[in-house]
Amino acid sequence: MKALTSSVLKRLADGDFHSGETLARGLDISRASVWNAVRDLEAKGIEVYKVHGRGYRLPYPVTLLDRAAVERHLGANGSRFTLDVRDTVDSTNSRLLERAAAGTPGGTVIAAEWQSGGRGRLGRPWHAGVGEALTFSLLWRSTRGAGALSGLTLAVGVALARALAAAGAGSVALKWPNDVLWRGAKLAGILTELQGDALGPTAVVIGVGINVRLSEATRARIGQAAADLETACGVAPDRNRLLAEVLIELDRLLEAFGRAGFAALRDEWQRHHAQQGRRVTLTLPDGTRRSGRARGVAEDGALLLETRSGTQRFHSGEVSLRPASARQPK
């Protein structure tokens, strides 16, 4: 997002009307520049009401991400994190991976209002307009190698389920391996990426995207059933407070994971398992499919699929999960 566009957005964030003349005078720019900034906001999925004689306003007030506000909500936990809050970035995960390679310490967080190249698992794009979602990445450092960190993405899902339930989103479910659902629709997604030696240490970048208040235009771009916290909670939560609460829960979860791995969190994950006991079809990277009944996950996070030939294990990154449509084993 351009600096000028960001400045206009901050003026409009209160949800009140602001005339082009007032905006131009306050920002020391031309009215044409104001108009161009408004068009840039609309191109990023932000609806802006334009009324002749009154000016511009957003459909509703937007609480923009603010580092000081997040730190206030973190309270005594603030010393455990280093926050970098940005107006715009291509991808919070990509930028944090670069910083991890340069030796930045664990607990570093990059959060952004707008990601031009936000991505999820298997390179899928993440769609959200400014103020519509909470997108951030957290760096966690482990002395262990990647093989000892299996199940980490599922463990992060447990932390999100806890934090979102505390925020008022009831009936949160987890879809293996990296989605959080509400009433069957995607509410949040997780992308974990690792750097390091086979035997450790390992730098883990945990990317999280949570839908807070989605516009109809964004829902149309997503291309799948999507939920948001405004619907799940009855009101859109303050994103600065939500970021702090999620970070605190992630910190607790990662400490527990570091001690005992995913095995200690397995039962809690399975209580939230959206497909537990249901017939499903898994699509493998080579395009082949496996059908059966989902029987939960193993202690290393592998999905257990009961098929005609017995129970098979599938690991994160190998399969995608879809509702089954054909006859399958009972």
Which pLDDT value is given to residue 32? 95
The residue ranking higher by pLDDT, 217 or 172, is: 172
Confidence of residue 3 (pLDDT cuts 50, 70, 90): confident
Which pLDDT value is given to residue 220? 80
Output the CA torsion sign for 46, 166, 245, 257. Answer: negative
The two tokens of residue 283 are: 């699509």
Q: Is the peptide bond before 177 cis (omega within 30 degrees of 0)?
A: yes
- The model's pLDDT over 173-210, given as tens digits with 9 standing for 90+, comes to 999 999 999 999 999 999 999 999 888 899 999 999 99
Q: CA of 127: how far to CAs of 2, 114, 224, 238, 319, in Å?
A: 19, 10, 11, 20, 22
Residues in contact with 303: Cβ distance below 8 Å, sequence separation at least 6, in sequence order: 176, 177, 282, 294, 297, 313, 314, 315, 319, 321
**CA atoms in the 13 A half-sphere facing the CB of 182:** 21
Query: Contact at 8 Å (CB) between 92 and 37?
Result: no
Strand 279-283 relative to strand 202-211: parallel, antiparallel, unpaired? unpaired
Give the Cα separation of 181 and 161 in Å (integer): 9
Catalytic sites, residue numbers: 121, 186, 322
Which pLDDT value is given to residue 328? 46
Residues in contact with 28: Cβ distance below 8 Å, sequence separation at least 6, in sequence order: none
Give the Cα separation of 76 and 71 in Å (integer): 9
Query: Contact at 8 Å (CB) between 96 and 84?
Result: no
- The model's pLDDT over 211-233, given as tens digits with 9 standing for 90+, comes to 999 888 788 888 789 999 999 99
279-283 sheet: strands from edge to edge: 310-314, 303-307, 289-297, 279-283, 320-323
- 3-class SS of residue 259: helix
The two tokens of residue 159 are: 């932390």
- The model's pLDDT over 65-101, given as tens digits with 9 standing for 90+, comes to 999 999 999 999 999 999 999 988 989 999 999 999 9
**CA atoms in the 13 A half-sphere facing the CB of 171:** 11
**CA atoms in the 13 A half-sphere facing the CB of 75:** 5
Which pLDDT value is given to residue 228? 96
Residues 274-301: what's their mean pLDDT? 89
Q: Is 101 exposed, middle or buried (0-12, 13-18, 19+ CB in 10 A)?
A: exposed
Which pLDDT value is given to residue 329? 47
Q: Where is average pLDDT lowest: 90-104, 235-249, 273-287?
A: 273-287
- What share of the chain has pLDDT > 90, as a percent? 72
Rounded to two decimals, the pTM is 0.88
The two tokens of residue 249 are: 């829960």
The torsion region of residue 29 among left (phi > 0), alpha (psi -120 to 50) and beta comes to beta
Looking at every residue in the chain, the average pLDDT score rounds to 90
Give the Cα separation of 112 and 120 in Å (integer): 15
Which pLDDT value is given to residue 316? 58
Confidence of residue 318 (pLDDT cuts 50, 70, 90): low
Residues 272-287: what's their mean pLDDT? 88
Could you tell me which of 325, 328, 320, 312 has the C-alpha nearest to residue 287? 320
Q: What is the set of domains in the chain, with CATH numbers?
A: 3-57 (1.10.10.10), 67-271 (3.30.930.10), 279-323 (2.30.30.100)
Q: CA of 90: how far to CAs of 193, 247, 265, in Å?
A: 16, 22, 33
- CA 192 to chain centroid: 11
